Amino acid sequence: MPGDVIRLRPTTPADLDWVLAAEGHPVGYVILAGLARPRDGVELRRIVVTEKGKGFGRATLRRVKMMALNELRTDRLWLDVRANNPRAKRLYEAEGFAVEGTGADGLIILSIRRGDEA
Ligand SMILES: CC(C)(COP(=O)(O)OP(=O)(O)OC[C@H]1O[C@@H](n2cnc3c(N)ncnc32)[C@H](O)[C@@H]1OP(=O)(O)O)[C@@H](O)C(=O)NCCC(=O)NCCS
């Protein structure tokens, strides 16, 4: 599934009815942090896909990479993942994220830099 089929834009108050209506059957969502100052890095804080194993996660991750690195021009897109979540970690590494370090609470920090895209 090509990454360019996923379009990302901020939620607005006008979207809220739709968001609430869709809440029962969303394909997924992402939470991004640092968008106001992308030069300090952008964090992919959360990615959740409800219909797993169909390529939505990879496609969404590719779209987020494109937005953060190419459109917002951040130097570093980063995230953390629990060590007991091999599905997500495998996906991130396959998409070019590299391990930066491990936190005390079992969180692994991964990042991708502009120019290192898979
Ligand atoms: C992690 C997550 C976003 C991946 O999304 P997805 O749509 O299921 O993944 P995709 O279908 O795009 O598959 C991407 C990769 O995930 C892995 N994967 C997918 N389904 C899998 C399964 N049933 N078992 C193990 N790994 C699996 C594979 O590495 C796969 O790559 P491949 O197709 O080359 O084998 C999704 O599983 C999810 O929402 N998990 C719960 C929330 C979460 O853990 N978020 C990440 C931490 S915040």
**Structural domain 3-113, CATH architecture:** 3-Layer(aba) Sandwich (3.40)
**In the chain, which ranges are continuous DSSP H helix?**
16-22, 56-65, 86-94
**What would the two tokens of residue 71 be?**
């459109």
- The ligand 1 site (C-beta within 6 Å) comprises 46-49, 52-58, 81, 85, 87-88, 90-91
Q: What's the pLDDT tens digit per position in 13-62?
A: 999 988 887 777 788 889 999 999 999 999 999 999 988 999 999 999 99
This prediction has a pTM of 0.84
For residue 88, how far is its CA from the centre of ligand 1 (angstroms)? 5
Domain borders along the chain are 3-113
Q: What's the pLDDT tens digit per position in 63-106?
A: 999 999 999 999 999 999 999 999 999 999 999 999 999 987 88
For residue 48, how far is its CA from the centre of ligand 1 (angstroms)? 9
- Compute the distance between CA of residue 5 and CA of residue 111 in angstroms, rounded to an integer: 23
Measured from the Cα of 87, ligand 1's closest atom is 26
